[in-house]
Structures are given as structure tokens and as C-alpha cells.
Amino acid sequence: MPGNILLIDDEEQLRKLLSRIISLEGFIVEQAGTLKAAWAQLAQKEPDIVLCDVKLPDGDGVRFVKELKEKYPLIEIILLTAFGNIPDGVQAIKNGAFDYITKGNDNDRIVPLLYQALDKATAQKKSAIKIKDKGAYTFDDIIGQSTLIKQAVQLAQRIAPANTNVLLLGETGTGKEVFANAIHANSKRSDKAIVAINCSAFAKDLLEGELFGHKAGAFTGANKDKKGLVELADGGTLFLDEIGEMNIDLQAKLLRVIENGEFIKLGDVKTTKVNVRIIAATHRDLRKMVEDGTFREDLYYRLNVFTISLPALRDHTDDIPALANHFLAYYTARENRPVLHIQKDALQLLQQHSWKGNIRELRNVLERATIMAEGDTILAENLPFDIQKQDKGSSSLTLASVEKDHIQKVLRHTNGNKTKTAVLLGIGLTTLYRKMEEYGL
């Protein structure tokens, strides 16, 4: 399926030329000569990728990146500039740009970059909305024997067979999606779908359309009726991840679903009846949001019938060995290599780390460690530097030398493929090129 591109550039000839080149690759291209025109088009239809000039008559592309990602987090944006400017490029990447390239010099990179950006945008959309015929995880998939994890599992097992709404609380990466799926898999609704959406991934208008669907003609481009996720979850479970990010106007419509089992599609005049169980999750303090007026009190109490708090990983570090072995078994099987073991020193470092990203961060660290390990054991040196440095305070190694060595290892692993290297390092391509130039690689 072709991707949709919005091309923003005030140079009409260049814009038309790029549009033709991109169109020949199968992409559907819309054009805008100003940011004002671009915002108008974005209000009508959300593209997969925005290709934008840095200098425009009515604004700055670097600042536009930040504004765009705040309103449309699933859109990938690539900036074009007439003159390479490293500080601008670095700031653009920090603001959320997929990449930053120079016109003319990097013309051959535009089409490959568009395909890479489309892959990322498509993956993010699939990640933001998931529809499963049954729960993707069961309680057996919840790893950990600590008291805190056992208590959370016991509460979830107790509430699973009921039709009661559930509120899962916990920091990002603590396993809320796993718990939601396990609750559904052990409920009386397990023969129906569990439909999940990450509320933080969509702007207000788009989230409303995804949740409630629309009738044909409801807005420009709505050529046929579309079922929303609430309707697709009829008879099953609707998992609303990061519900604290939901606009307060939409909260009123969700409340109607909970109280009356009905909603109105965009562009419709009739109500649609549904029977869904709501499992909501958030890392935010909803009680404080109620006090601040950003979350409806009545909705809070309807969701807060049964609450399960999931612990941060730093509060149950005794589960890290079991979690680490689980992830290593998965990643070594995926990479078709013998199962790795973790050196005692490396395991101690993992247990000392603060894990702001919790289990998700641990999973990512072990994925990289699997790639970096040269033998059959994960060593301390295979871990990211911020984890290594916990007991290397007196080391003579500088941050720069460790970073340079790490980049070199990943480049060797990818046989010099810079795009794959940037992905594995978790940085943008522009940042990688800047680092390579800085370290003379």
C-alpha cells in the first residue's frame, strides 16, 4: 500500500520536481508552499510522512517539527535544507524529526529515507492500535516471584472473571498491556476480541474517529462508513492505554459508553449500542488531574471501581534475573544463536540500575546486549555505558572513548550499514554521521 506524503517547500519548481520523483515510487503526494497551507491540509487528512523545507516564508521547519509531533505524534517528518547546519540538524532530531538532509547533496537519500520513515510510521500505527481475537498474554506470561508482582497478579486473577471495569496504574513500561491481555484471556469475554489503543498516539480529532468511527460524508475524504474501535470491541474488551492523555470532551463520550452502552459516530444522528468492558491504564495521577480540572471526576470514579497498581522495576529488582533470562532466550532464538548467559558482574549492574523505563527498558538493553556479545556470555562491557558506569566511578575511561568504541562495534556488526547502526544505537542518522565525523570513524 503506498504511503501518503505531504511535501512543504516554497520553491515551486523544486516542489514539483520532488513530487514527481516521489510519485514515480508509488507514493501519494500532496503539496504546500507555506506552513499555513500545510496545517490546513493536515486538518483534512493525516499523511504518513511530511517532507519539509527548513526555511519557509511563514515559519521555521525545525520549530515546526516540535509542533507537528506534539499534535500528530504518529507522523514522521524529514527536514530539507539548502545548507547543511549541524546545530539545526541536532535540534531537529531532538524535536522528533526522522532525519535532516541537505538538498542536492542528499537527493539520492530521499527515496530510501521515505521508505524507512514509512516503515516506522506503519509500525507505530500498528503498535498504537491492536485488535486480537483473544488476549495476547496470559497470567503465565507474567514473570516474577516478588511479593509486589504476586499481589498484582492475585488481584488481576480475582477480577478477571467479572465484568467490572479495571484501572491499571503504573509507570511507563511496567507491563500494563500484558496485565490487560491476561485479564481479558481469563474473563467471560475471552471468546471475543480485545481491542487496544494508545490514547497518547493520536490528536483529539483523530482519536475520536478511531474510537467511534464515522459515517460516509462526515468529513472530506470519508468516502464510506467506518467502524470505530468501540464497536469492534462489542462483546469483548476495550483497552485504553494512557487514558490520562484523552481530551476532556472525548471523556464525556466515553462516559456515555460506560453508563449507557451507546455512542454516536461522527456524522451520524443515531446511537449505536455496544456491550464492552473497559480496562484503562495510565502512568498519570488521575486524582490530581481531577483536582486540576483536566480529567472528569465522574469518569474517574466509573473507571476506578477496581484498581491494580503495577510496581516499578526498581522496587522488585529480585525479578530481574528471571526477566533477563526470558528476554535473552527470546532474542537469541530470534537471532538464531545459542542462548546467552549473563556474567555475575553484569547481572549485578542490571540490578543496581534505576530503570526509569522499567521492564521495557530492560528488554531493550538485553536486545542490544545480545547483538554486542561476542562469546556465549553477556559481559558488563556489553551493557550501555550509563549502566556500566555505576561501579566505574574511578575508571580512566572517558565517555567519549567508550561511546566511540561502542559505535565502532555496532558498525562492525552491521557491516558498515549506517541506517541499521543508527536504529540499533537508538539515534537518528544525522546524529550518527555527526558522531562518526567527531570521532574520525
**Domain termination residue (choose one: 126, 148, 176):** 126
pLDDT of residue 111: 86
Over 50: is that where the pLDDT of 133 sits? Answer: yes
pLDDT band at residue 293, thresholds of 50, 70 and 90? Answer: very high
pTM above 0.75, yes or no: no
Quick one: 239 and 381 in the same domain? no
pLDDT of residue 221: 64
Quick one: 328 and 383 in the same domain? yes
Mean pLDDT of the chain: 87
Instruction: Specify the number of domains making up the chain.
Output: 4
pLDDT band at residue 398, thresholds of 50, 70 and 90? Answer: low
Contacts of the segment 364-373: beta carbons below 8 A, 24+ positions apart: 364/426, 366/324, 366/327, 366/328, 366/331, 367/327, 367/331, 368/424, 369/340, 370/328, 370/331, 370/332, 370/335, 370/337, 370/340, 371/335, 371/410, 371/413, 371/424, 372/409, 372/410, 372/413, 373/340
What is the pLDDT averaged over residues 378-384? 90
Establish if 272 belongs to a structural domain. Answer: yes
Quick one: 178 and 293 in the same domain? yes
Over 50: is that where the pLDDT of 109 sits? Answer: yes
Residue 380 to residue 349: CA distance in whole angstroms? 8
**Domain termination residue (choose one: 270, 285, 309):** 309
What is the pLDDT averaged over residues 69-75? 85
pLDDT of residue 359: 96
CATH code at 339? 1.10.8.60
Establish if 12 belongs to a structural domain. Answer: yes
Quick one: 166 and 299 in the same domain? yes
- Maximal CA-CA distance, the chain: 71
Q: What are phi and psi of 274, to 5 degrees?
A: -140, 160
Quick one: 60 and 158 in the same domain? no
Establish if 116 belongs to a structural domain. Answer: yes
Between residues 43 and 294, which one has the greater pLDDT? 294
CATH code at 190? 3.40.50.300
pLDDT of residue 395: 43
Over 70: is that where the pLDDT of 220 sits? Answer: no
Over 80: is that where the pLDDT of 222 sits? Answer: no
Quick one: 183 and 66 in the same domain? no
What is the pLDDT averaged over residues 58-63? 90
Quick one: 364 and 428 in the same domain? no
Establish if 23 belongs to a structural domain. Answer: yes
- 122 to each of 27, 47, 75, 240, 425, how far by Cα in Å? 14, 11, 10, 20, 21
Over 50: is that where the pLDDT of 115 sits? Answer: yes
CATH code at 420? 1.10.10.60
pLDDT of residue 155: 97
Establish if 81 belongs to a structural domain. Answer: yes
What is the pLDDT averaged over residues 123-128? 78
Quick one: 302 and 196 in the same domain? yes
CA count, 13 A, side-chain hemisphere, 200: 12
Quick one: 16 and 114 in the same domain? yes
pLDDT band at residue 206, thresholds of 50, 70 and 90? Answer: confident
Establish if 393 belongs to a structural domain. Answer: no
Range of the domain at 61: 4-126
Helices (H), 279-398: 286-292, 297-303, 320-334, 344-352, 358-372, 385-388
What is the pLDDT averaged over residues 228-234? 94
Establish if 227 belongs to a structural domain. Answer: yes
| pLDDT 10s digits, 3-25 | 899 999 999 988 898 899 899 88
Quick one: 182 and 288 in the same domain? yes
pLDDT band at residue 52, thresholds of 50, 70 and 90? Answer: very high
Quick one: 154 and 88 in the same domain? no
Over 70: is that where the pLDDT of 105 sits? Answer: no
Quick one: 158 and 289 in the same domain? yes
pLDDT band at residue 408, thresholds of 50, 70 and 90? Answer: confident
**Domain termination residue (choose one: 287, 309, 331):** 309
Ranked by mean pLDDT, which of 279-283, 331-335, 343-347 comes out on top? 279-283
Over 70: is that where the pLDDT of 225 sits? Answer: yes
Establish if 394 belongs to a structural domain. Answer: no
Residue 366 to residue 332: CA distance in whole angstroms? 10
Over 50: is that where the pLDDT of 290 sits? Answer: yes
